[in-house]
Amino acid sequence: MKFKVLGSGAGIPSRTRNTQSFILDVVEEINQYFLIDASEALQHRILDTTIRPSKIRHVFITHLHGDHIFGLPGFLSSRAHQGGEGIPLVVHGPPGLEEWIEATFRTSGSHLNYPIQFNEVADGDSFDVEGFTVTIRLLDHAIDSFLYVFEEPDKPGALKSDKLRDIGISPGPVYKEIKSSETFRHEGIVYRTGDFLNPPSDGRKIAVHGDTRVVRDKAYLDLLDGSDLIVHEATYLHGEQEKAHLYYHSEINDVLLNLSQISYGQLLFSHISNRYDAEMVHLVGEQLSDDVRIGHDFLEITIPRGSR
């Protein structure tokens, strides 16, 4: 599993940062990509990667500000001609997203050659997406903005083949049958399959924020606790907590202090204001720990199992 940054900037693009778009790469797990937010020029950013649009089957939009959605109509249209014909797509997002897309396509005379479904999200929603549990939390922004928490199912432990051989069962198709059952019989004896399995490995948990002020309540922190990766905005990097709060955004040190109350594997800051030049970003980044970093366009983070 990997997390890929296609755009790491806030508000408007700069020469080094496009506005916010992410890819959660679960190709190894389910042969798909999840697209999170769709900034302007998204389809161009994808051309600079090996991502196949036809493998994007779900899009998750955090909120309806332009720097998070202006690339969506272009992406939907391009996907139709990049292997997406006939392959369904589900777009998850706030109320008003479907209306905006339909109006955009109607007035531009655009048509798709694949079915598209819209799933309107709300605070507290939890639903299954391709085996992942996705939980929704309303954040604190000027308009409704959401946190998406993706939780992978636990992976069953591997069979202890040495123990099976000890009772006289050689490797073969029967191993698959044993693993899929709660008990199995061999030479008249009934065995419990769990006694022949290694411990399961925990599924990974990835939390991706839309724009927000720092949220301090316990239920929110409990939802984030134990995440393998948290992606949080840091529109303000340099001690401007009051200004960040005024404009419904976050300041990096305030976020770090808030999240110090929970455990997590990695923390990625994105949505960086174009007021900061590369030198300022570098200076701030040098002060962060190894498991915390400031994102940049085309950054790729590997999320191993058991990373938290």
Q: What residues form the annotated binding site for Zn(2+)? A: 63, 65, 67-68, 141, 211, 271
Q: Return the closest-CA partner of residue 139 out of 65, 54, 226, 41.
A: 65
Crossing angle between the packed helical segments 72-79 and 97-108, to the nearest 10 degrees: 60
Torsion sign over Cα 216, 268, 228, 38: positive
d(CA 219, CA 222): 5
Q: Find tokens 């022949």 and name the residue.
A: 196
257, amino acid identity: L
Measured distance CA(275)–CA(294) in Å, rounded: 15
CA dihedral 106, 108, 111, 115 (to 10 degrees): -60
Residues 14 and 9: their CA atoms lie apart, in Å, by 7
**Which residues are known catalytic residues?**
67
In 3-state terms, what secondary structure has residue 96?
coil
Question: Rounded to an integer, what distance in angstroms lies between the CA atom of residue 291 and that of residue 227?
Answer: 12
CA dist., res. 224 & res. 299, Å (int)? 22
Phi, psi for residue 19 in degrees, rounded to 5? -80, 175
In the numeric block, which tokens belong to residue 11? 């508000």
What are the CA-CA distances from residue 109 to residues 72, 113, 115, 117, 151 (Å)?
16, 13, 17, 19, 38
